[in-house]
């Protein structure tokens, strides 16, 4: 039984790329499951403020809305960056991903500002179960954003240095997938944590 | 300053209990012996280049076996200690263990057996066999595979670290039920060791599972559709799909527990509005599927074994596959049956009870599929087949008691009793361990190049089966007598002691079985040439792994086969195999990144256990740097040219042709082994004089 | 593959296995002589029904499982390679009907079991009150480290590690815990267990039909003193119970706030203790303690009734 590779078959490298992208999707699923635990925990515990302030007392809707808009915009710029990367235009790629990076930084600053404000007012994650679940849910998202930013910075550095090779484009598309994923998770956080507090 | 440098560490942490002194001295001696031997034989470089940094799933698989086997002995010693305490500690006698120490041992026993034995052996089998069964040369991400393995090793070291520093392990049961495991009730570092050993190895498991899913779904040989996959691969796929679904839940749950303990949050605490019942729910959402994660590959092994040794294709292949898919899907929805007694109410309990019963349906279908396969077959009662027959007896017991426990009103009486302990040991020893042993006996020729000694193997199987019944039937009875689990002491008037003693005797018989398995492996090494598998197909196998040489070459397949039917290799043998044309083979390069990252991961855990902040920060930075360096290193492959492949394949063929085996010789028996061992020892002693 | 050494006699093996099983059963039976297999000697309505359900379900499963096992081992013996007489067919093709049967058989068995299980689960829900001519006795149970505190609110007494109830009288245990990990309250002679947890009340309804002393235990690991967290359940006649209550009421040992505080301290292998005049607020204080002082204990809610 002989076996000949036909031209229709994917090249060795393309097949590897295909696998890695698939694996990354599976990873995103596991990450989503971790968030789902945090959402479930928040759903169970958000009422247990034991007389402390509730979400309605604490959250500022304009701030959360600003965060949401920033993150949505960043998803858009990230998409533009990906289009440029697929076309192989290095400058545009760096520009749009750079914008995405800055927007992410802005989002993170607002989130940190909110946290510092709460802690300053004496509402830490030790206060009660509601605050614990709030800080862990939003904080975990923040940590993800932080790691995405570090990842973006390094990838962009290597794109600038090595150019848009196939594997670099793959790394960028993984990064953009991750970024959109975090955007979606944030939409859920915005709904479940911030909007529901005012329903 | 001192606190900054070494955190909570102080002289008190050094071993001062008898068991930590014994453990640390024992481990140190073993380590010294190993280091000495390797240095003496000048094997460090070889070990590092050929094994530790290897990305070859076959070598990683063997390393999983060695580590898992080592931990099996470690966990087995725990079991014997538990049995001994319970046999002694009746009435006025309090045995030889304190309550706290006893509780640490059963916690460690559970953790070690599930995480560091069963998982390791299952991953060992999957690593070695799955790529060969699907016609792949490697895994989708070789790096993730070594990383997963070394994270597991970091977990192994972490779970034994308390021998050296800390003097205590967690004492809250293998799942560390909250709020008992919280800072309020378990202030010591034992729980922290629990957290970090599971967290680190759990992340390794998730990575490995993602990798296997990628491999099985994306790297099958041409023509191998999903419904042509061998059943062991199917079992592994179902198992790994469950693993990626539930291990994130474990990671997050332990993460929240970690926050409770370190940062004073209120997730599972009794105070501050925390909800301990939520922990019970979350941990069992992982814990129940975990049992099936371990069991499904084993069920797959049995399907392969029954089919090969009955000389028939498996009957009801599709039902068998759907059975496994059904088990894995249903297993995700039954976690609440582990705590009917928490007071959820009749409706919720009924729903979960029914869901649990439904799992019995696909499981029975699997058994039917094996029975019909054996019907009108030509059955060879080899050691793997004996493991299968033993498994059926043990598993039937576990299955029936399992359905009983799924009936909430009955469970109210049996829950947390020794009946429950006997039940899950029936399913896990029968359904997981026996499957692994069957798989090891079945695939040993493929892994080592020679098959295992059948005679001593038989003794081992019988010891395990007899030992199992002698050990666990008394536990069922004790449960019916109202004995709760995890008792370090009980009243003499209960009349339980004879049963505990009987159970201990069973445990000793099991230990003899395990010892016989070690003897079996040594005896097989002695008779290596006589038992050699030159054809690569010692059992008249049916699946692709038997089409390559034993042991399999680094690239697995010189030419990736094309598959057209289910028992692919069996069909090929019927049709005859024509001479292939060789091509260049791309193989991944070895990497040490997995080891470095795992060392840092271990240090992160260690830093957290002893609250050494700088160590945590530095180690996390180390992990990030290693990851970046690995990700952006584009030079990760090498090529084996076609001519070299051809030469290697022909060399193998020559070896096969040149080898003559004396057919009259047979496997040595136990007596012969003892004679050889004694004469060897005698020569050693005389040589020294 | 080479033939392994001595061809072992399969018939002898089968006899040995059978003998082994008989021997094991005889040994277990001998060891059981004179001992109480609690789950098989129920002393109350709930335990009795749970016992029956257990036996019936086991018999159904054995009726289904034993033939399966028989065929499996019979085939393993009959179709052995060296049995020249046995037929061999190297294919495994089977019709749709056979496949259907394969799935239908276990489904039917599970349907039968589920039809037994569903009504029983409703009927034996621990929350469900047991109907009887006699008036229901309420006992508040607090799991402490590592002892059980029983408060009789209507009798105005309290006990530690000892609970006495009159025969043929439905009893409702209201289980909770204070500064103690989850504990499981179990009197196997009378019926199944239920968890006692902080923040929560679980209601366990039991009834005894035979006087006697029965063991009670904590079935869920809850710390170092776990094994010693046992209590005696004395089922007595109505008169004896009343007498006992009267005697206990006269006790000078009162359960005030300070006595309760000392009970909260962890201690192991506690002896039975008896108190009169328990501080009436103790139980509700325990519950509101974990609710941040914001929820008050609403008392026992109305439950369905078992007949």
Closest CA to C171 of C269, C293, C289, C46: C46
Residues C110 and C177 grouped into a single domain: no
Q: Does A34 touch chain B (CB under 8 A)?
A: yes
Report the DSSP pairing between strands C129-130 and C305-306.
parallel
Identify the domain containing residue A97 by its residue range: 60-198
User: Is A110 part of a structural domain of the chain?
Assistant: yes
- Residue C33 maps to a domain: no
How many domains are there within chain B? 1
pLDDT at C1: 39
* Confidence band, pLDDT 50/70/90 cuts, at residue A10: low
Same domain, C168 and C234: yes
- Inside any domain, residue A18: no
pLDDT per residue as tens digits for the range C165-203: 999 999 999 999 999 999 999 999 999 899 999 988 999
- Tell me, yes or no, whether C221 and C144 share the same domain: yes
Please list the alpha-helical segments (H only) found in B135-189.
142-160
Q: What is the pLDDT of residues A21-76, one digit of tens each?
A: 999 999 999 999 999 999 999 999 998 888 888 888 899 889 999 999 999 999 99
Q: Does residue C85 sit within a domain?
A: no
Residue B563: C-alpha distances to residues A3, B157, B533, C14 (Å)? 10, 43, 24, 42
A50 chain-C contacts, CB cut-off 8 A: 291-292, 294
At B461 the pLDDT is 96
Q: B663 lies in a domain?
A: yes
The pTM for the full model equals 0.94
- Per the listing, tokens 């589920």 go with C114
Mean pLDDT computed over B461-483: 95
- The per-residue pLDDT for B663 is 60
- Residues of B with Cβ-Cβ distance to C123 under 8 angstroms: 409
In DSSP terms, C195 is beta-bridged to C184
Contact residues, C window 267-306, toward A, CB-based 8 Å cutoff: 291-294
Residue C17 lies in a domain: no
Average pLDDT over residues B259-285: 93
CB distance B453 to C159 below 8 Å: no
**Residue B88: half-sphere exposure toward Cβ, Cα within 13 Å:** 13
In a domain, C37, yes or no: no
C118 and C70 share one domain? yes
- With contacts defined as CB-CB under 8 Å, which chain C residues touch A53? none
**What's the confidence (pLDDT) of residue A6?**
41
List chains touching B (3+ CB pairs under 8 A). Answer: A, C
- Cβ <8 Å between B580 and A49: no
Whether C175 is in a domain gets the answer yes
- Residues in contact with C201: Cβ distance below 8 Å, sequence separation at least 6, in sequence order: C174, C175, C176, C287, C297
Q: Which residues contact B58 (CB under 8 A, 6 or more apart)?
A: B127, B128, B447, B551, B552, B554, B556
In this structure, is residue A83 part of a structural domain?
A: yes
> Residue A193 maps to which CATH number?
1.20.120.80
Q: How many structural domains compose chain C? A: 2
- Is residue B468 included in any domain, yes or no? yes
Domain-located, residue C299: no
User: Is pLDDT of C133 > 60?
Assistant: yes
pLDDT of the residue at B688: 59
Position C298 scores a pLDDT of 42
Query: Chain C contacts of B171, Cβ < 8 Å?
Result: 224
Q: Read off the CATH number of the domain in which C164 is found.
A: 2.60.40.420
Assess whether C236 and C159 both reside in one domain.
Answer: yes
Q: C255 and C155 in contact (C-beta within 8 Å)?
A: no
Chain C residue closest to A49 (CA)?
Answer: C292
In tens, the pLDDT along B327-351 reads 999 999 999 999 999 988 899 999 9
**At CA B51, angle to CA B50 and CA B55, rounded to 5?**
90
Q: How far apart are CA B460 and CA B463, in angstroms?
A: 5
- pLDDT of residue B437 exceeding 90, the answer is yes
Sequence-distant (≥ 6) Cβ neighbours of residue B251 within 8 angstroms: A34, B199, B202, B203, B206
Subunit contact A2:B214, Cβ cutoff 8 A? no
Same domain, C137 and C120: no
Q: What is the pLDDT of residues B375-413, one digit of tens each?
A: 999 999 999 999 999 999 999 999 999 999 999 999 999
Task: Print the domain residue range for B434.
Answer: 416-486+497-528+659-689
DSSP code for C180: S
Q: Which residues of B touch C50 (CB under 8 A)?
A: 409-410, 412-413
**What is the rounded CA–CA span in Å between residue B192 and residue B608?**
8
φ and ψ at residue B407, rounded to 5 degrees: -90, 110
CA distance A55 to chain C (A): 18
E strand or H helix that includes residue B274: none
Q: Is residue A136 part of a domain?
A: yes
Which residues span the domain enclosing C111?
42-79+99-124
Angle between helices C45-78 and B346-374 (to 10 degrees): 10
CA–CA separation, B503 vs B505, rounded Å? 5
- The per-residue pLDDT for range B513-561, each reduced to its tens digit, is 999 999 999 999 998 888 888 888 889 999 999 988 888 988 999 888 8
Tell whether C104 and C193 lie within a shared domain.
Answer: no
Q: Do C120 and B663 touch (CB under 8 A)?
A: no
In chain A, the number of structural domains is 1
pLDDT score of B603 more than 80: yes
Average confidence (pLDDT) over B96-112: 94
For residues B77-94, give the mean pLDDT.
94
How do strand C212-218 and strand C202-206 relate by DSSP bridges? unpaired
Beta carbons within 8 Å of B27's beta carbon, 6+ residues apart: B160, B163, B164
Residue B279: closest CA among chain C residues belongs to which residue?
C182
Q: Do B279 and B218 contact (CB within 8 A), yes or no?
A: no
Q: Which of B374, B436, A3 is nearest to C80 (CA)?
A: B374
Residue A10 domain flag: no
Six-digit token string for C81: 């390679």
Interchain proximity B312–C220, CB inside 8 Å: no
The residue-averaged pLDDT of B151-170 equals: 94
Q: What percent of chain B has pLDDT over 90?
A: 78
Report, as an integer, the average pLDDT of B568-573: 86
Q: What is the ipTM of this complex?
A: 0.92
pLDDT given for residue C299 in this prediction: 43
Residues of A in contact with C292 (CB under 8 A): 50-51, 128
Question: Helix crossing, B434-448 with B454-480: angle to 10°?
Answer: 160
Q: DSSP alpha helices (H): ranges in B379-496?
A: 383-405, 408-414, 418-425, 434-448, 454-480
Which SS3 state, helix, strand or coil, does residue C233 take?
Answer: strand
| Inside any domain, residue A9 | no
- Searching chain B, which residue's CA lies closest to the CA of residue A128? B272
Rg over alpha carbons for chain C, rounded to the nearest Å, is 27
Ramachandran angles phi, psi of B430, nearest 5°: -70, -55
Distance from first CA to last CA of chain B, Å, rounded? Answer: 57
Closest chain A C-alpha to B436 CA, distance in angstroms: 27
Q: Give domain status of residue A51, yes or no.
A: no
Does C75 share its domain with C142? no
Would you call B325 an interface residue with chain C, using a CB distance cutoff of 8 Å? no
Average pLDDT over residues B657-679: 78
Tokens of C72: 């499996």
Q: Residue B486 class from Cβ within 10 Å (0-12 exposed, 13-18 middle, 19+ buried)?
A: buried
- Domain membership of residue C34 (yes or no) is no
């Amino acid at each position: 039984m002989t076996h000949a590779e036909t031209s229709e078959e994917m090249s060795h490298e393309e097949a590897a790329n295909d696998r890695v992208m698939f694996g990354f999707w599976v990873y995103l699923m596991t990450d989503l499951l971790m968030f789902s635990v945090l959402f479930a925990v928040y759903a169970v515990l958000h009422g247990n403020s034991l007389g402390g302030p509730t979400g309605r007392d604490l959250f500022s809707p304009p701030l959360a809305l600003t965060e949401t808009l920033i993150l949505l915009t960043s998803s858009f710029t990230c998409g533009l960056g990906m289009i440029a990367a697929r076309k192989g235009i290095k400058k545009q790629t760096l520009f749009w991903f750079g914008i995405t990076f800055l927007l992410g930084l802005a989002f993170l600053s607002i989130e940190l500002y909110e946290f510092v404000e709460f802690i300053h007012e004496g509402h830490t994650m030790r206060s009660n179960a509601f605050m614990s679940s709030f800080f862990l849910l939003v904080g975990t998202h923040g940590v993800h954003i932080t790691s995405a930013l570090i990842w973006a910075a390094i990838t962009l550095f290597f794109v600038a240095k090595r150019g848009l090779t196939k594997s670099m484009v793959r790394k960028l598309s993984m990064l953009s997938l991750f970024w959109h994923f975090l955007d979606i998770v944030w939409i859920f956080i915005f709904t479940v944590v911030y909007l529901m507090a005012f329903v | 300053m001192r606190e900054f440098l070494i955190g909570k560490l102080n002289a008190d942490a050094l071993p001062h209990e008898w068991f930590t002194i014994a453990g640390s001295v024992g481990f140190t001696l073993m380590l010294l012996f190993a280091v000495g031997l390797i240095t003496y034989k000048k094997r460090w470089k070889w070990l590092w280049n050929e094994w530790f940094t290897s990305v070859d799933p076959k070598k990683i698989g063997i390393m999983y076996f060695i580590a898992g086997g080592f931990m099996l002995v470690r966990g087995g010693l725990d079991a014997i200690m538990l049995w001994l305490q319970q046999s002694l500690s009746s009435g006025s006698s309090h045995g030889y263990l304190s309550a706290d120490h006893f509780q640490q041992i059963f916690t460690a026993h559970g953790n070690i057996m599930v995480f560091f034995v069963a998982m390791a052996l299952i991953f060992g089998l999957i690593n070695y066999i799955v790529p060969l069964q699907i016609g792949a040369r490697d895994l989708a991400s070789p790096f993730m595979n070594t990383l997963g393995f070394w994270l597991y090793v970091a977990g192994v070291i972490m779970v034994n670290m308390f021998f050296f520093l800390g003097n205590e392990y967690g004492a809250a049961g293998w799942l560390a039920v909250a709020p008992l495991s919280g800072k309020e009730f378990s202030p010591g570092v034992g729980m922290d060791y629990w957290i970090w050993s599971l967290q680190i190895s759990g992340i390794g498991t998730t990575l490995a599972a993602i990798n296997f899913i990628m491999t099985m779904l994306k790297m099958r040989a041409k023509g191998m559709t999903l419904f042509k996959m061998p059943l062991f691969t199917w079992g592994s796929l179902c198992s790994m799909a469950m693993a990626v679904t539930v291990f994130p839940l474990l990671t997050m749950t332990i993460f929240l527990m970690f926050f409770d303990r370190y940062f004073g949050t209120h997730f599972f605490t009794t105070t501050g509005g925390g909800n301990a019942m939520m922990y019970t729910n979350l941990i069992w959402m992982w814990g129940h599927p975990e049992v099936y994660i371990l069991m499904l590959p084993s069920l797959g092994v049995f399907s392969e074994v029954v089919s090969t040794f009955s000389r028939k294709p498996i009957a009801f292949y599709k039902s068998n596959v759907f059975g496994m898919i059904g088990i894995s899907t249903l297993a995700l929805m039954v976690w609440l049956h582990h705590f009917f007694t928490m007071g959820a109410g009749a409706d919720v309990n009924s729903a979960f009870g029914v869901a649990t019963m439904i799992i019995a349906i696909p499981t029975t279908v699997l058994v039917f599929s094996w029975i019909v396969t054996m019907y009108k077959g030509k059955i060879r009662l080899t050691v793997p087949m004996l493991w299968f027959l033993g498994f059926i007896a043990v598993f039937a017991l576990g299955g029936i008691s399992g359905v009983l426990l799924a009936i909430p009103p009955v469970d109210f009486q049996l829950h947390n009793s020794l009946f429950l302990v006997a039940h899950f040991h029936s399913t896990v020893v029968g359904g997981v361990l026996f499957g692994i042993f069957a798989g090891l006996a079945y695939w040993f020729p493929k892994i080592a190049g020679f098959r295992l000694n059948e005679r001593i193997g038989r003794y081992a199987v019988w010891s395990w089966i007899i030992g199992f019944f002698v050990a666990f039937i008394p536990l069922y009875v004790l449960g019916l007598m109202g004995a709760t689990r995890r008792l370090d002491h009980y009243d003499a008037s209960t009349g339980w002691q004879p049963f505990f003693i009987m159970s201990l005797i069973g445990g000793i018989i099991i230990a003899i079985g395990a010892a016989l398995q070690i003897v079996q492996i040594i005896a097989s090494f002695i008779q290596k040439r006589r038992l050699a598998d030159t054809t690569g197909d010692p059992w008249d196998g049916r699946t692709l792994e038997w089409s390559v040489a034993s042991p399999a070459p680094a690239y697995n397949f010189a030419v990736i086969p094309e598959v057209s039917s289910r028992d692919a290799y069996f069909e090929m043998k019927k049709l005859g195999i024509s001479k292939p044309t060789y091509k260049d083979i791309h193989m991944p390069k070895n990497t040490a990144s997995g080891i470095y990252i795992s060392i840092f991961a271990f240090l992160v855990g260690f830093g957290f256990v002893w609250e050494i902040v700088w160590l945590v920060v530095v180690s996390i930075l180390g992990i990030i740097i290693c990851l970046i360096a690995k990700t952006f290193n584009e030079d990760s492959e090498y090529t084996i040219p076609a001519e070299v492949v051809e030469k290697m394949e022909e060399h193998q063929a020559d070896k096969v042709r040149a080898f003559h085996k004396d057919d009259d010789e047979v496997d040595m028996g136990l007596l012969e082994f003892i004679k050889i061992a004694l004469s060897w020892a005698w020569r050693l002693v005389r040589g020294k004089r | 593959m080479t033939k392994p050494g001595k061809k072992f006699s399969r018939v002898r093996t089968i006899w040995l296995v059978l003998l082994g099983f008989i021997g094991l059963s005889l040994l277990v039976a001998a060891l059981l002589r004179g001992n109480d297999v609690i789950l098989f000697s129920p002393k109350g309505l709930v335990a009795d029904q749970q016992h029956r359900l257990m036996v019936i379900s086991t018999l159904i499963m054995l009726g289904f499982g034993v033939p399966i096992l028989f065929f499996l081992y019979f085939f393993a013996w009959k179709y052995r390679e060296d049995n020249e007489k046995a037929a061999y067919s190297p294919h495994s093709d089977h019709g749709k009907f056979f496949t259907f049967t394969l799935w239908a058989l276990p489904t039917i068995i599970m349907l039968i079991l589920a039809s037994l299980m569903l009504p029983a689960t409703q009927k034996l829900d621990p929350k469900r009150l047991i109907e009887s001519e006699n008036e229901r006795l309420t006992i508040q149970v607090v799991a402490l480290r590592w002892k059980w505190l029983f408060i009789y609110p209507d009798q105005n007494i309290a006990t530690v590690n000892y609970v006495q109830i009159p025969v043929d009288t439905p009893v409702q245990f209201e289980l909770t815990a204070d500064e103690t990990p989850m504990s499981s309250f179990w009197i196997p002679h009378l019926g199944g267990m239920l968890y006692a947890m902080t923040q929560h009340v679980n209601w366990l309804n039991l009834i005894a039909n035979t006087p006697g002393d029965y063991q009670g235990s904590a079935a869920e690991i809850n710390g170092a003193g776990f094994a010693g967290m046992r209590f005696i359940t004395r089922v007595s006649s109505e008169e004896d119970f009343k007498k006992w209550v009267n005697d206990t009421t006269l006790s000078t040992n009162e359960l005030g706030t300070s006595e309760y505080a000392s009970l909260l301290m962890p201690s192991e292998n506690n002896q039975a203790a008896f108190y009169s005049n328990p501080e009436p607020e103790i139980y509700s204080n325990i519950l509101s303690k974990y609710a941040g002082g914001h929820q008050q204990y609403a008392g026992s809610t109305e439950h369905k009734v078992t007949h």
